[in-house]
Amino acid sequence: MESLSQLGIQWSLLIAQTVNFVILFGVLSYFAYRPMLKFLDERSAKIEQGLRDAELAKKRLEEVAQEESAILGNAHKEAKDLLIKADTVAKERSAGILLDAQKSADRFLEDAKKQSAEMTKQMVSDAQKELAGVVVIAVEKIIREKISSGSDEVFLQKTLKDIQL
Amino acid sequence: MEFEISIAAEHLFSIGNFFVTNSLLIGVLVSALLIGLFLWGVSKKQIVPQKWQSLLEVMIEGALGAIEDIMQNKEQARKAFPLIFTIFIFILVSNWIGLLPGVGTIGLLHSSEGHTTIIPFLRSTSADLNFTLGLSLSVVIGVQLIGIFTLGLWGYGKKFLISPFHKPYVIGTFLGLLEIVSELAKILSFTFRLFGNVFAGEVLLTTMLHLLPYFLPLPFLALELLAGLIQATVFAMLTTVFMKMAMTEAQH
């Protein structure tokens, strides 16, 4: 104990220094380190979150760009296809129309031909009939005049019947 | 007028029965300064740190990183951080404040036996055995408590009390006793390492100052600046290592 006090060690001072340090330790850990560490943790979490978000946004953007180009490419292709299809359809249809027109024209022509042939026939037969009537009348007239002045009435009647039949 | 080298911190005044020494005074002042600075830094904290706050963050994160490196365990480092960092910053600041001009030379005139000596108002806290012994005791006792809380009373006690009837037999028991001695030795080595370095530095500086007041003390001042940092680091690092050892299960 003698040597301790020669070195300046005193219980009261030892305790005072220790208490001083313990108070410093307590105050700093409770009021300084704890909020500071919490704050630093929060901030690093926030930064991490931000980085993650940025990464996500970048990825999403890339995806969107990809999607966009895919959609555009698709649309392009579809438009091309559509055009080609429309073209073929139009061609087909015009060919069909042409064919139809040809057909109906042919049919018309044929009909007309037929009709005209029929009409001709009819006309010929009508003319035949009329001509026959006229000939008969004319013959009758001529013959009647002859008969009234002459004979052969029986023969005449018979001839007329032959002609008429 | 002479200067006197005193191993013991000098008494300045007394409050009742209690003598206040210059080293206790500086201890209280440094504590107040640190509390003020830290609380100021914490109270004005912002997401984007400004000057003092960013310095504070650099110190805290640097220290935490160093402790994590030693402990290899994030959670343990978090738990140990407050004590270790407080030790470091307190020893560092009080060491450096002891180097300020006037700290060792301005003081009360004191006459005894015909000599007039100066009793400095302020003396680095670490140049007082009361402080270094108190700190060592706190650390060593604290380390035992941490060991007990982490491993349980029996788990931690296994380190010291080893049955003589198992594998290494009496040797193991003897090693356990040596562990107890080494814990006690830690107190002494902590106490006298810090005290010896800081006190020697102050004596060196005072001597140089009295030999030649100009230029001669400068290199020694720079050296002491470094020594103050080194001593603070050494104390904190050793505390970290001892804590880690206490938290680790004894291997037999």
Q: Is B4 contained in some domain?
A: no
Chain A residues within 8 Å of chain B (Cβ atoms): 6-10, 12-18, 20-25, 27-29, 31-33, 35-37, 39-40, 43, 46
User: Measured between beta carbons, which residues in chain A are less than 8 angstroms from residue B56?
Assistant: 36
Give A115-164 pLDDT, tens digit per residue: 899 888 888 888 888 888 888 888 888 877 766 665 566 776 777 777 76
Contact B8 A8 (CB under 8 A): yes
CB pairs under 8 A between A and B: 110
User: Measured between beta carbons, which residues in chain B are less than 8 angstroms from residue A15?
Assistant: 134
B35 CA: distance to closest CA in chain A (Å): 6
User: Measured between beta carbons, which residues in chain A are less than 8 angstroms from residue B45?
Assistant: 35-36, 39
Identify which has the larger pLDDT, B246 or B122: B246
Contacts for B19 with CB less than 8 Å, ≥ 6 apart: A10, A12, A13, B11, B12, B13
Give B34-73 pLDDT, tens digit per residue: 899 888 888 877 767 777 788 888 888 899 999 999 888 8
Domain tally for chain B? 1
Q: Which of B171, B185, B187, B162 is nearest to B250 (CA)?
A: B162
* Inter-residue contact B98 to A29 (CB < 8 Å): no
Residue B106 predicted with pLDDT over 80: no
Lowest mean pLDDT among A78-82, B20-24, B94-98, B237-241: B20-24
User: Measured between beta carbons, which residues in chain B are less than 8 angstroms from residue A14?
Assistant: 130, 133-134
Give B119-136 pLDDT, tens digit per residue: 676 777 788 888 888 889
Per the structure block, which two tokens stand in for B82?
A: 């407050």
User: What residues make up the domain containing B42?
Assistant: 11-247
* Inter-residue contact B201 to B227 (CB < 8 Å): yes
Residue B216 confidence (pLDDT) = 80
Mean predicted confidence (pLDDT) in A72-95: 92
CA distances from B164 to B11, B151, B155, B170 (A): 51, 22, 17, 5
Residue B24 confidence (pLDDT) = 82
d(CA B153, CA B175): 19
Q: Is B214 contained in some domain?
A: yes
Mean predicted confidence (pLDDT) in A84-93: 92
Residue B175 confidence (pLDDT) = 84
Q: Is B2 contained in some domain?
A: no
Contacts for A73 with CB less than 8 Å, ≥ 6 apart: none
Q: Where are the domains of chain A?
A: 2-164
